[in-house]
Each structure stands twice: as C-alpha cells, then as structure tokens.
Structure 1
Amino acid sequence: MKTFNHLFVVLEANNDTQPALMRAEQIALLNKARITLCLGANSRMHQIEKDIAALGDSVSEAQIHQLLTDNCQKFLKKLAEPLQKKAIQIEFSLGWSDDAVDGIIEAVEKSKADLVIKSSRHHSKIKTLFYTPTDWKLLRKCPAPILMVHSEKPHLPQNMLAAVSALAIDEEHSKLDLQVLDYASSISQLFQAKLKVINAFTPVPLGVSLDGTGVYQDEYLQDLQQEHHLKTLELTRKFSISDDQVETRHGDTNSAITECVTELNIDMVIMGTIAREGLAGLFIGNTAEKILESLDCEILTVKI
C-alpha cells in the first residue's frame, strides 16, 4: 500500500487558478499530508520589471534577486493561506535553475515527496515536433510519481483506470506493472473510487493480406486474449482487485485506453512510463505522453 504523506505541487507562475493545488488540498485533508509548494523564481521575473526600472541603471544582481524572492514569497503565501487555515502544513520551494524542469527535479529529489502534482494543458502537434513540453520532460525525468491535472474539479475522481501490460517484454516492465497496480489500488482506496484495470495487447498477425493488413483467426485471437487475461488476473489478485474489475482488449494501447475512458467516464488514468533519452526521447512520444495530450482526465504516471 502506497502512502501520500508528502505532496509536492508544481505551481503555475502566472495563473489565478491552480488545479494541481486544489487536488493536493483534497488529498492532504483526506490523508493528513503536508504540501510543498514549488515555484520557478525566474518565471515571475516580469512581475518585478517596474521595480527594477525604478532602481535605475545602478541596480545590482543582488537587488534583483531580493526583489524576485520577495515577489515569489508573497505569491506563495497568498496561495498557502487558505490551506493553512485548514491546518494543512505548507512548505515553500523556490527553484533558481535556468532550466525549469531541472529545477523541479532537483527540488523533488531534496523533498523526497511521495507524489508530485502539476497542472497540465494540451499542446499542438506541430509544436511538439520541434519542442518538448515541460510536462513531457517531467514525465520522463521525475523520480517520483506525477499526477497531471487538466482542470479544477470540486469532486474527487470516482472512476479510475489502471493500464498494464501483463505479458511484459522484460523484467523492467513487469516491475512497472506491479507499481502501477500498487498505486492504483492505494489511490482508489483513498478516494473511495471505482477501479478498472485494462490490459491492452497488439497481436502478431498470422499473415498479411493483399492490401497489407494483418490476417488473424478468431480462435488464435481468443486464445491469445485468454492468455493475457489470465496473466493480468495473476497480477491484480496480488492487490485484492476483484476479477470483474479486469478487462483485456486487443489493439493499440492508446486507442484501448481512450475507448475505456469514454465508455466508463474515467476521471483518472494510472499508468507506467519508461524514462527515455536521446533522439527517441526528443521525437517520439511514448504512450503516457500521447494519453496526456489526448485526454482531459487526470493522469497519474509511475516509474520503477
């Protein structure tokens, strides 16, 4: 059973609404957790431009640093005050790294937080061809589980979907499945939410037709689906997840998850992600990133 005693919230520097903070508040009240509010100091630079100009040409780097620190602390205290009135313990973390993601990662590692929560937004496909969004970078690099929240919702998630790959290709993916189910079981119990587990697999075709599409036999697909389903049940039973909460589908993983989210009115998807670097990491979004961009529900990603 996973615990969520320390929440790390990555704030939107210039937004009045903070969906991630709202969700963190709800979890903290349920679990008596403490919250660290993280803000990239440089993201507030435009807020002190007038103050810098008022100091004239003689302004020093130390003065700018102090102005920025004061501005950030004022912003953080304003956000923290309503939570502190509810007896939630709040800590502050200011990031000074030129790279926002590196600053967040460094702060997360120091905090040893159980869960990182961040507001997220969709990005255009053209933009992601040439620029890796901050959310994607965090999914790849962050050592702690990350909950991405798209919008402020007053109610807690009531329908959750955990995605696994029961016949994992290697030991790393097998461990990842166990992590996904552990977190899914834990957070669904915390929220008293309904949990569904899906195992999507892509069958290898028995042949290729003249038009280039794969050829399958019904009996072959049924046997393969049964094999995947039984393996999934082996995993889910370790976490006392009932068999009727488990479903196996053949087809593209992204499509299967998207279909389930729509059919079951899913509020949160829990899935694993593998950190990748180099050209593959720059140009090819993995399943978690594609799901993050295609769905409006919350996404909780975990690593081993």
Structure 2
Amino acid sequence: MINYNKLLVVIDPTQEQQKALGRAMDLARKTGASLTAFLSIYDFSYEMTTMLSVDERETMRQAVVDDRTEWLTELVDKQVTDKSLSVDVKVVWHNRPFESIIYETLENQYDLIIKGTQGHGGLKSVIFTPTDWHLMRKAPVPVLLVKEHEWPEGGNILAAVNVGTEDEEHKSLNQRVTRTAMEFAKTLNGRVNLVNSYPGTPVNIAIEIPEFDPASFNQSVRNHHQDAMKTFASTYGVTDEQCFVQEGLPEDVIPQVAKDMDAELVVIGTVGRHGISAALIGNTAEHVIGTLDCDVLAIKPEGFVSPLQK
C-alpha cells in the first residue's frame, strides 16, 4: 500500500474545477493522508509600489493574500464534499511558484506533490509550464502530474524501466519505480505492467561497415533486453504477459504501450538534472509525459537532494 501521510495539492487559480484536488481526495480516502491545498501568488504590480512605506506595502500584500485565501477556502468547501477528509488551505506570496512549492514541501515534510496539467485546446497534447519542469527536476519528493484520465478500479499501471543498463543509479531507479508502481497497484486495486524500450541499429554503422549484419545485431540487442526484463520482472512476480519490450525511443514506446492498455497511471524515473545539462539534454521523463493521456508519477533516484536544499 502507498505510505503517504501528507499530500500537497497545487491549486491552479485559472481553473474552477481542480482535477489535482480531485485526485488527491481519491488517494486520501484510500490512505488516510491529510491534504493541503496550496496556492502560490504574486502580483507584479507590487513592484511598482516602491514609493509606498514598508507598512503600506505589507498591508497591500496581505490584502491580496487574504482575498485569495478566502477564494481558496470557498473552492475547497465546494469541491471537498466528503467532510471526513482533512484539508488545510495555504496561500503564500512568492514570485517563483516552483520554489514556493518546494520550500513548502521541505518545511512541512510532504510525501507527494500533486499538480494538474494544462490541456492544449481540443488537442490531446499538454502544455507544461516552467513550474511543471522545475518540479520534475528539483522537487525532493515524487510529483504526480494529473490529466483528465479516470482511475478505474482494476486499471493498468505502467512502470517504465531501463533494464538493459549496467549503470547502478539507473538500476536503483528501476527498483524504486517498480516498487512504487506495485504500492499504487495495491492501493488502487490495479495491475502492474513493465515497459522497456531499446535502441534500433544505428544507420551509420550499417552503411560504414559493409560486413555488419544489422538484423543479427538487432536480434541480439532485443534478446539482451528481453532476458534482462524477464529476470527483473521475476523478482517482482510480474508475468511475461505484463512485460513489454519494444524497439524505439522511450518517448515513442512508452506512450504507445500506455495507450494500447489504456493505462491509468505511468510511473517513471527522472534523474533530476539541473543547470546547463538540463537545458541542453533534457530528460526522458519530460519527453514522455507530454504525449501521455494519463497521469504521470515522476520518481527521483535514491538519495536525491533538491538544489534548493543546498
């Protein structure tokens, strides 16, 4: 079962119906966790009030916080119809939302951050804000990005793993991702599936080396990943029918497998890059989640320390 005691729900002030809060309530009912509905606000016109006294500026800022707190309290009262749930309300003034979310998480030791994602018009794709990206890279706890997909009883949960690697950090992350998927499956009465993608034959090798046999090479790579998946899955009691090993890029394979099985949740590891490498290289998790129609749970490696903790 999921062992989450405190859930931090990020509120979107532009939306009347808060899907992240709805999802958090689902989890709270099943786990007994407490909820905090969290709103980070900042009015840039505040920067123009430097001619006012310190006390006047503080009064103005507090008036905005009080107004938003009243709005959020009413919203929560309206959406949280189950009065057995414990829901706190918190509004903070901060000009960088992702930092306020992470500082709140660190200060009050939340176990999970839950945040809704923005749909792109009538399309299936999703717009991810800078806040989403920063949370995926820097949050010290798992981040659940919520979409419109329902969580049906007995649904499919897909854990994305990289079983062909010899890298110890990735091996450890595979285990964390799979264990988390199994905990969610027990809590939601769902079924765990594993997916692993592997690269195809590099075209330049096939061209430059005439005696190179791409078909044979491809088969050996496939066999390696299938054997590795079988070994890995067996340690968790996951059957062959629940394992998917396919050639291609993760950002193509994972969403397709999730769509085919109508997954309700994809659990994926994120290495939490930051700085120049994050801007240039990006992250497999980030490429994957934009094309998924279901919720995504992003997990950090063991011992990950948020750059905001330093």
Matched letter for residue 22 of structure 2: M
Compared CA separation, residues 250 and 158, structure 1 to 2 (3 A): same
SS at the partner of 1:239? Answer: coil
Residue 110 of structure 1, CA deviation: 1.7
Cα offset, 1:188, TM superposition: 1.6
For residues 122 and 158 of structure 1, what CA distance do their matches in structure 2 show? 23
Deviations 1:95-126 (A, max 9, x none): 332211111111111222221110012579xx
Cα deviation, residue 199, structure 1? 1.1
In structure 2, what residue type is equivalent to 1:275?
G
Structure 1 residues 265 and 143: alpha-carbon distance in aligned structure 2, compared to 1, 3 A threshold: same
Conservation of the 8 A alpha-carbon contact between 2:250 and 2:288:
no
Q: 1:157 to 1:101 in 2, by over 3 A?
A: farther
Q: How far 1:262 sits from its partner (Å)?
A: 2.3
Q: Which residue of 2 aligns with 1:66?
A: 62
| Correspondent of 2:76 among 80, 87, 91 | 80
Residues 102-251 of structure 1 mapped to structure 2, 5 A cutoff? 102-121=99-118, 133-151=130-148, 153=150, 155=152, 158-203=155-200, 205=202, 208-210=205-207, 217-251=214-248
Question: How many residues get paired?
Answer: 287
1:294 is paired with a residue of what secondary structure? coil
Who is 2:30 aligned against?
A: 30
Aligned twin of 1:41? 41
**SS state at 2:246 partner:** strand
Contact 1:207-1:216 at 8 Å conserved across structures: no
Deviation at 1:246, TM superposition (A): 1.3
Report the RMSD for the aligned CA atoms in angstroms.
Answer: 3.0
Could you tell me how far apart the structure 2 residues matched to 1:210 and 1:77 are? 65
Q: 114-123 or 184-193: which moved more?
A: 114-123
Shift of 1:266: 2.0
Runs of 5+ consecutive residues of structure 2 not aligned to the other structure: 47-51, 122-127, 302-310
Q: Give the AA of the match of 1:24.
A: A
Alpha-carbon distance in structure 2 between the residues aligned to 1:254 and 1:10 = 26
TM-score w.r.t. the length of structure 2 is 0.82
Corresponding letter in the other structure for 2:155: Q
- TM-score of the aligned structures, taking structure 1 as reference length: 0.83
Q: Which residue is 1:261 aligned to?
A: 258
Determine if the alignment matches structure 1 residue 10 to structure 2 residue 7. Answer: no
Distance in 1, Cα, partners of 2:132 & 2:246: 28
Q: Counterpart of 2:64 in 1: which secondary structure? A: helix
Preserved CA contact (<8 Å) 1:162 1:181? yes
CA drift at 1:94: 2.8
SS of 2:235's equivalent? helix
Aligned 8 A contact 1:115 1:145 in 2: yes
State the AA in 2 paired with 1:75.
W
SS at match of 2:174: helix
SS in 1 for 2:80: helix
Contact 2:115 2:146 in 1 (8 A): yes
Establish whether residue 299 from structure 1 lines up as the match of residue 287 from structure 2. no
Q: Identity percentage over the alignment?
A: 27
